[in-house]
Amino acid sequence: MDSGIGLLPAAAALRALRPDVDLVLSQDPDGMPWGVRGPQGVTEHALAVARAAAEQKPDALVVACNTASVHALEAIRAELEPDIPVIGTVPAIKPAAAGGGPVAIWATPATTGSAYQRGLIRDFASGAEVAEIPCPGLADAVEYARLDEIASIVAVAAQQTPAGTRALVLGCTHYELLADEISAALAETCPGITLFGSARAVVEQALRRARPLRESGDGTLTVLRSGREEALPAAALAYPAGRSLLA
């Protein structure tokens, strides 16, 4: 679940690991964007999206959204667990800082500088030089595949990223859809930089925590958009992760 297509990296990673699994993608196009709503608003919308997903009786629910994980994870778990294991998304600060830095974190303005992110930096990157880079508008641009806008925002964020940065944390799941574009934008000032997303680790955790999985599924894909069963939005097909789900 996510407000929009930020769930695509996790969904594609899960499909790659378990092609037989039936996937349900629960989104909230009617309520986007979540980040401007404040903690209570995010929680209310995230709960609605989680409930729509829960009606499908999944073996596990992945909250594939950093903002929802920050503000709503506890509320979703309180309502759905233990019947449905709920797995949140944590920015990959710990593995990114393992090399000693310098580290940059690209995230939404709502997440950048938040107590949540600062706590992760304190707990897992206290020995590294860390730069927090807000990327206003980038998640929305990705959501609607506005390519010129994406290029402009990525260029600004790249300019704000200290030269010589060795590790970049993608602190919004939408950003993981832009790995190639971000790497290219940083190639000159941060040669050899490594990007750290959360999708693979989150999916592996979901498979570990899931209720005993059905022996096999049919590899189906169900898309819920503010509770309505619809097709995957056209913008999703602008990215390899989206196209892979329909392959």
Contact in structure between 104 and 97 (CB atoms under 8 Å): no
CA 160, 166, 169 angle in degrees (round to 5)? 70
- Which DSSP category does 114 fall into? -
Task: Provide the CA 106 distance to its chain's centre, in angstroms.
Answer: 12
Contacts made by residues 210-213, CB under 8 angstroms, sequence distance 24+:
210/59, 210/60, 210/85, 211/59, 211/60, 211/84, 211/85, 212/59, 213/18, 213/21, 213/59
| Terminal-to-terminal C-alpha distance of the chain | 21
Paired sense of beta strands 61-62 and 86-87, if any = parallel
Q: Which of 25, 65, 135, 169 is catalytic?
A: 65
190 is catalytic: no
Q: Which of 170, 172, 186, 190 is catalytic?
A: 172
Prior bond to 162 cis, omega within 30?
A: no
135 is catalytic: no
Give me the DSSP letters along 185-209.
HHTTTSTT-EEE-SHHHHHHHHHHH
Mapping DSSP to helix (H, G, I), strand (E, B) and coil, where does residue 28 land?
Answer: coil
Active site residues: 65, 172
